Chains A and B, each alone.
Chain A
């Protein structure tokens, strides 16, 4: 079994919401002036001046959900989830580290840690915000923080094999009826976006397993390296596929030998 580590996606993969007008809105973040296009989220606005706000459920390639509450900041003396909060008016005044924000984050971290006490990212934040899991919460440490990034990733691929079911503390990620999800194509998108490495999978050259399902791998006809699972490629509408390296090479040689191209 391999455990997937927290994958940082490059900032340029960010999906920006279409601003409705081209106007700029301006205000201050931690006292620093900032001007951004109308509708930019607070998180993006902060990032644009190099201010880092801790996030967990947010993933730049996925629709925001605002469920972990780690990214709360103080906007005009009220708390708002910066990953979702759209800046639509000039004159905002944001504090990303006020006492209220500190209190909120310490509380949220205490709770999140009870689910994933060994997560390095959360542990690091816990030091900064002086948070520790409360033993009275009981043993909840299954490693899943219920951020739903996996579910959103699966939805984004159009597969919708897994979902979050159950209310309250029973809420969990699973396939329909707690069975291995029949719709799953074994693309591992869920595992790749999981911040804590809760979603386990195993991968060999010719096979892959995840969510209690086994998948056969398609091998690159040129080099023999695994390209993806059979069902994953079928979902993409491709029966046969070169591996990324061979594809690049093939494309490069097509370009070089193609007509009308002079170097």
Chain B
């Protein structure tokens, strides 16, 4: 397979291929969540069962691994093609049945689907509100197969660009699409593209930021591992547009599989004339390589990332000249997040107007969110920008867990903000979130219920960020230390009147003075919780935690009108001070209670509550 010109690529896609004969296929999810839940072993079991059933000779019935299907909480997942059914929590013991009934005969195994009446992935409440652009090839291709990528519209955009479009036109399409950076800031991509294209300089670079440092986030990882060619193609288009001949994909240190998949994609693309010298016979050269990250959260920050690629310590630099003018090795550099890059082929192929028609005003396209925390269904969900938070939390995520109520939603990763229930109708986009004191960040969304203490949440994120502060500038290095000390005091019951106010002023000053984005945004968790949950700060100053989270700052009390006498709290109590007859309201003997909050978490009916200590 070698493509000497754009036409040969188009011809190849049109030519009949073996895959066209595939009658049915089981797609085992190879996303991070399902892999952790044992999907690799499941695939082996399925392959063995298929062999045992004599199917290895039948290329029309297949079992393969694909990228992340999204509903991680219910993994390992298996998608059925062409029926579109989605099996949840599949274990190796199910393998034989899957082969015999589903793969061979196309039967539905009812116990493995969410709703036997609506067994399809499309009707599943988790998927229904979603729009799949970035994730559209998950469940349709094998991530390391260039042929699969080609058959799923891959490299259409590059063939079009190199065959018919000038670099200016490619850049113009991205500008007109309104694409905004998916790595956090939401900076208009087109501005960067045109400035970089016009910046004087013989040597230019393009970089993909795949550092993904937010704890719990894995949308970039899923993309790099599930559809690596999309990132490669995006970068190739970017290089063509701005006139770069080399590029780097900076991948988080902890993602060896991402590196492997990307490198295999790069090697295949090079072999087939889609990367390297004289791409598709157009005379355009582009060399791409991966770089393993420096292993620190701050390495995802653009100047630190470039320092790291240059072989220096991954530390931010003060820059008043933009990277598109002077970036990597002081050359004009176009840096975008991997998800931003993966949007590019779509924009170039389908046109800026089509892209801008998705999403909301000034916020075109979709965003992949990682939905985690106290919801019924967690995982990766791709939504049009501008969707209300409520849709993601209630419809996709299924709302609060039994007996609990949702208190807050934290968006944007560790330096994001916490929004209260009253802000749940806020559109998820790059303009509304910052206005409300939160950020889009890389798309992390943590749902918190009534057992989450907002002062403790601020303490938790501040502690994370303090540990990740590179220590270069004084405000972030020492300021986060001071803020953390005060927050820790509050959570231990050693707060003072006025602490909240003091924190407010420290947080504001930190945002004003820090050198890089880490320090400038590090006060967001603090400032947003102060803004929306001021009463919890005041209560902590007085030594009370209403959420029953800060040990010693409350007494548990069981509401006899709500208690069903299920006994779950008594079982959970480590001090065995809860008693009550079967189906009778239970009571806590405060003598001996260590106020750990275990009963509050155990109660499925919300009968156990935190009250002020007497």
Contacts and interface: CB of A to CB of B under 8 A. Distances in A.
A107 B481 contact: no
A137 interface: yes
Given A68-B474, A115-B478, A167-B471, A136 B489 contact: yes
Contacts, number: 104
Contacts of B515: 66-67, 69, 81
B575 interface: no
Nearest to A145: B474
Contact of A137 (B296, B467, B472, B485): B485
Interface string B554-577: 000000000000000000000000
Contacts of A112: 474, 478
A177 B97 CA distance: 59
B320 A108 contact: no
A146 B477 contact: yes
A79 B318 contact: no
A136 B482 contact: yes
Pick the most buried of A81, A136, A170: most chain B CB atoms within 10 A of its CB. A136
- How big is chain B's contact interface, by range? 20 to 34
Contacts of A246: none
A111 interface: yes
A114 interface: yes
A67 B513 contact: no
Given A167-B471, A170-B471, A79 B513 contact: yes
Contacts of A148: 472
Interface string A94-125: 00000010011011100110110000000000
Contact of B512 (A67, A104, A140): A104
A115 B317 CA distance: 23
A84 interface: yes
A167 B468 contact: yes
Interface string B462-506: 000011111111110111111001100100000000000000001
A167 B479 contact: no
Nearest to B471: A171
B481 A146 contact: no
A181 B512 CA distance: 37
A68 B477 CA distance: 10
A108 B470 contact: no
A170 B471 CA distance: 8
Interface in B512-543: 512-515
B510 interface: yes
A67 B315 CA distance: 11
Interface in B448-466: 466
Interface of A: 64-69, 72, 79-81, 84-86, 88, 100, 103-104, 106-108, 111-112, 114-115, 134, 136-138, 140, 145-146, 148, 164, 166-171
5 contacts: A67-B515, A69-B513, A84-B318, A114-B478, A168-B471
Interface pairs A-B: 6 shortest CB-CB: A171-B471, A66-B318, A107-B509, A111-B478, A168-B469, A67-B473
